[in-house]
Amino acid sequence: MSFLVWEDGASGRTGAGQVGELAFAVPVSSIGDWLTRAMSAHIPLEGPKHEFGEPVLRLRDPDGVIVKLVGVDMPAGAALPDPIAPTRIRAVTLLTEKPEETLEFAKRFGYRPGPVEGNTQRMYSETDAIDVRNVRGYVPSIPGAGIFDHVAFRAADVGAVRQMRLDLKGEEGVTNVHDRKYFLSLYVREPGGILYEYATDEPGFTVDEEAAHLGETLFIPANALTPAEDLKIILPQFALPGEERNPMRDLPFVHRFHTPEEPDGSVIVLLHGTGGNESDLMPLAHRINPHATLLGVRGRSTEEGVGRWFRRLNMLSFDQDDIRSEAEAFAAFMHEAVRAYGLDAARITAMGYSNGANFAAAVMGLYPDVIRQAILLRAIPVLDDLPQADLAGAKVLMLTGASDPYGTNTPKLAAWFKDRGPISTSRSSRPAISSRPMIWRGQRNG
């Protein structure tokens, strides 16, 4: 079982041209126990009922994926501790508007026709089954959360994959043989539009981890464009089974929370530039302080399909009502984030780039208690009337490139900060120098 991550993605739609259901084999005598477990866990279910002579419970996982538990005694390749645990994959259900062609194509992968029930034809291999369901006239599938991406069939060895590539050379959409490090595979869409993978078992996942410790280490491809250390910071954190989870709070801004291995109690709140997202500045913030907890936040406005913190009327004119309403929402978000995540408000530093820096400066003017320390990269004033805010004791570092086309507007913002009280400020207009190149999204200011 493989899962593709659709973070903050819309739900897909079940329809023609996709895998519709996944069935696991469980001991025949365990169906009653599984029914009790599902009801106790408040999992949506149907059944039990019989399909192709086998008792079936049909469940839905939290994303809406249909998982069937089928009572059939099949030997386990690797038995699990629970005596009624699933033993292996029993079948997958293929939804197709071209059942005859889908059935014929399945023969290439070792399946032979079996019984028919209603609009479903079962096909058998030596180890499992596929159920080809005729869904002519049904809506087409839409990719997204809760939708199967593809179904993979086992190849005996590398030679079988390469031979299959030759056999499929006339088929539309067949890929080359891909070396996935842990296995070799190819992809092809069958006539009904369902994506098939044909893959080897070898060399397997133990090439870089011992079997007893599988899944404990994050591995990143050697040819990844983003450095491995940066990717580790950008990727969402998750807990292994049995570990304590850090729950994501339901707050008005999409956000990413990163806890370092040895936190020092400080927090850096990150505000991206135009076209960026909540994780863009995390690698930079981690280099500034590897022990800081990071809270990356995503702006809620959009312009030409890219994310921003507030609407822009033109390159140097901004929607004042939008700035103020979003600043009010952000202030509420920060107060709730401090409470929900147990943060020390006195040790929070906001770091913004371009549009995010401009927004952070506006928040400081409108809600001085929310941000008391800030690192502003390429910031300019965006409020038409800069507030008479009390920023006594606040600390601000402003960084602007010597050739930044918007840099001529920066001195006005710097002067405003200095006029707001005994504020500690620092401003640099030297070209930025880094020990290694960094790419930031959000190159446009405003």
Q: What is the DSSP string of 109-178?
A: GT-EEEEEETTEEEEE-SS-EEEEEE-TTSPBPB-SBTS---EEEEESSHHHHHHHHHHTTTSTTPPPPE
Question: What letter would DSSP give residue 353?
Answer: E
Confidence band for 219, pLDDT divided at 50, 70 and 90: confident
As a whole number of angstroms, the distance between CA 96 and CA 102 comes to: 7
pLDDT of 423 higher than 70? no
pLDDT tens column, 222-236 = 888 888 889 889 988
Paired tokens of 211:
């079997």
Give the tens place of pLDDT for each residue, 51-107: 999 999 999 998 889 999 999 999 998 888 999 999 999 999 999 999 999 999 999
With a cut of 70, say whether residue 446 has pLDDT above it: no
Q: Are 132 and 99 in contact (CB under 8 A)?
A: yes
Beta strands in 246-311 (DSSP E): 255-258, 267-271, 293-297, 301-303, 306-308
User: Mean of the pLDDT values across residues 5-21?
Assistant: 86
Number of Cα atoms under 13 Å in the Cβ half of residue 384: 9
pLDDT of residue 427: 55
Residue 390 dihedral angles phi and psi, to the nearest 5°: -95, 105
CA dist 365 and 386 (Å) reads: 7
Task: Tell me the pLDDT tens digit for each residue of 160-174.
Answer: 999 999 999 888 889
Q: Return the pLDDT at 152.
A: 95
Closest C-alpha among 46, 51, 63, 177 to residue 115: 51
Q: Measured on CA atoms in the order 373, 379, 380, 385, is the torsion positive or negative?
A: negative
What value does the mean pLDDT of the chain take? 90
How far CA 440 is from CA of 260, 279, 337, in Å, comes to 22, 11, 25
List strand residue ranges (DSSP E) for 304-347, in order: 306-308, 312-314, 317-318
- Are 293 and 259 within 8 A, CB to CB? yes
Residue 68: exposed, middle, or buried by beta-carbon count in 10 A (0-12, 13-18, 19+)?
A: buried
**Predicted pLDDT at 425:** 55
Tell me how many degrees the CA angle 109-140-110 measures, rounded to the nearest 5: 5
The reported pLDDT for the residue numbered 440 is 40
Cβ neighbors of 40 (< 8 A, separation 6 or more) are: none
The average pLDDT across 303-318 equals 88
Query: Left if phi > 0, otherwise alpha if psi is -120 to 50, otherwise beta: which for 436?
Result: beta
Q: How far apart are alpha carbons 423 and 402 in whole angstroms?
A: 24
Chain segment 364-407, per-residue pLDDT in tens: 999 999 999 999 999 999 999 999 999 999 999 999 888 888 88
For residue 311, which amino acid is it? R
